């Protein structure tokens, strides 16, 4: 039987999510990859245990994570029931719905029918009474925003979710969602956008400003740009990499310009005593504009390495200028 490390909270930093009373770990574990039915279950258990032993209290999922869709939630459910049940009140679990999940007209989008059904399915798969955060995974232009937000609000009022989140919403849609949820007296807790050194739309389109102004937290996915912001592609494209398999990251994305930038960034990281991946994660969390960063992992050691960023989150103005010059 798993017993959590007694010192699990000593090496992690936790900060409030927006203006809420909820604290998030600076590093959260995402289940997008490597937690599906095609992946080794014992390795999944080891990664979850390593994360929790290192103070990662937040596990992020979605209804369609796998592959097979739904299997990441099922696997977490097995782990929760058999290993982590005594620690449920120490753990934040989030899930989402918004992308296609089942056949027919009710398995996709932002309708009340789809969202309510999906949350009920997710709770069964994860063997939970409630989730801590439920996200609408993407905006749906074919459903009135009021309908989607009302469904999210009712989940909280029913006790099936404690907080509401949105993901992949643009700045204007986010403003509208914030307004409706305030009127529903179920304020938006958090936004989950893609954000990394190579994808900075949350800055250029003012999303981070809107979140700060309204007391909404931010947790970022793909902080390593699907692996581009690691040392993996410094000397070509490895045969077992995502780019080589054209999985989520295309081989054509690894251009000469990208490799040149990565090499220059890697030099700064080494001077900071970090790997490039660690520096890229630290950079996303700089100035505390982002509450938490979502990491993925394929083995426990990666989680341990990523958590080390807690000891080196600050940047000098000179370092930030050098990085900015590279990214221009």
Helix (H) or strand (E) holding 126: helix 112-126
Domain residue spans in the chain? 14-231+287-314
pLDDT at 210: 98
Tally of CB atoms within 10 A around 142: 8
Rounded Cα distance, 17 and 23, in Å: 6
Cα-Cα end-to-end distance for the chain: 51
DSSP, collapsed to helix, strand or coil, labels residue 221 as strand
pLDDT at 144: 98
pLDDT at 271: 97
CA-wise closest residue to 193 among 180, 204, 179: 204
pLDDT at 124: 98
pLDDT at 256: 87
**Tens-digit pLDDT profile for the chain (328 aa)?**
899 999 999 999 999 999 999 999 999 999 999 999 999 999 999 999 999 999 999 999 999 999 999 999 999 999 999 999 999 999 999 999 999 999 999 999 999 999 999 999 999 999 999 999 999 999 999 999 999 999 999 999 999 999 999 999 999 999 999 999 999 999 999 999 999 999 999 999 999 999 999 999 999 999 999 889 998 877 665 566 555 455 565 566 678 888 999 999 999 999 999 999 999 999 999 999 999 999 999 999 999 999 999 999 999 999 999 999 999 8
Rounded to two decimals, what is the model's pTM? Answer: 0.95
- Residue 136 near residue 147, CB atoms below 8 Å: no
> Any idea which architecture 14-231+287-314 has in CATH?
Alpha-Beta Barrel (3.20)
| Integer CA distances (angstroms), 264 to 74, 230, 314, 317, in order | 42, 12, 19, 17
| Integer CA distances (angstroms), 102 to 39, 70, 151, 161, in order | 22, 10, 19, 22
| Integer CA distances (angstroms), 166 to 213, 221, 271, 286, 314, in order | 17, 13, 37, 22, 28
DSSP, collapsed to helix, strand or coil, labels residue 27 as strand
pLDDT at 224: 96
- Find tokens 């796998």 and name the residue: 66
Rounded Cα distance, 275 and 266, in Å: 7
CA-wise closest residue to 224 among 211, 210, 246, 242: 242
CA-wise closest residue to 159 among 118, 184, 114, 129: 129
CA-wise closest residue to 226 among 260, 266, 253: 253
CA atoms within 13 A of residue 74's CA, in its CB half-sphere: 13
pLDDT at 255: 84
Rounded Cα distance, 233 and 222, in Å: 16
| Cα dihedral value 83, 59, 16, 88, nearest 10 | -20
- Find tokens 């912001």 and name the residue: 229
Quote the tokens at residue 107: 């398995």
């Amino acid at each position: 039987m798993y017993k959590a490390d007694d010192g699990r909270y000593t090496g992690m930093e936790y900060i409030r999510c927006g203006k809420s009373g909820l604290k998030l770990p600076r590093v959260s574990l995402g289940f997008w990859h490597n937690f599906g039915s095609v992946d080794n279950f014992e390795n999944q258990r080891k990664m979850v245990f390593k994360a929790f032993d290192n103070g990662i209290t937040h596990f992020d999922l979605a209804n369609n994570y796998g592959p097979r869709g739904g299997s990441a939630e099922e696997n977490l459910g097995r782990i929760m029931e058999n290993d982590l049940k005594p620690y449920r009140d120490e753990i934040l679990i989030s899930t989402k719905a918004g992308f296609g999940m089942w056949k027919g007209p009710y398995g996709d989008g932002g309708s009340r029918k789809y969202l309510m059904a999906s949350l009920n399915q997710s709770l069964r798969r994860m063997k939970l009474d409630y989730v801590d955060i439920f996200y609408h995974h993407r905006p749906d232009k074919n459903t009135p925003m009021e309908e989607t937000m009302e469904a999210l609000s009712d989940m909280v009022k029913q006790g099936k979710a404690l907080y509401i989140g949105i993901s992949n919403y643009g700045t204007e849609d986010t403003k509208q969602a914030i307004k409706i949820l305030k009127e529903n007296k179920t304020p938006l807790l958090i936004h989950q956008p893609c954000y990394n050194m190579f994808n900075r739309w949350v800055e250029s389109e003012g999303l981070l400003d809107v979140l700060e102004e309204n007391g909404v937290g931010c947790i970022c996915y793909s902080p390593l740009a699907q692996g581009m912001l690691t040392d993996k592609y410094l000397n070509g494209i490895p045969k077992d990499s995502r780019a080589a398999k054209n999985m989520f990251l295309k081989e054509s994305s690894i251009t000469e310009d990208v490799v040149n930038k990565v090499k220059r960034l890697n030099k700064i990281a080494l001077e900071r005593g970090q790997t490039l991946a660690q520096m890229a994660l630290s950079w996303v969390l700089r100035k505390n504009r982002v509450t938490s960063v979502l990491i993925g992992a394929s083995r426990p050691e990666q989680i341990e390495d990523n958590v080390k960023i807690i000891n080196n989150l600050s940047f000098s103005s000179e370092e930030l200028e050098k990085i900015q010059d590279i990214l221009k």
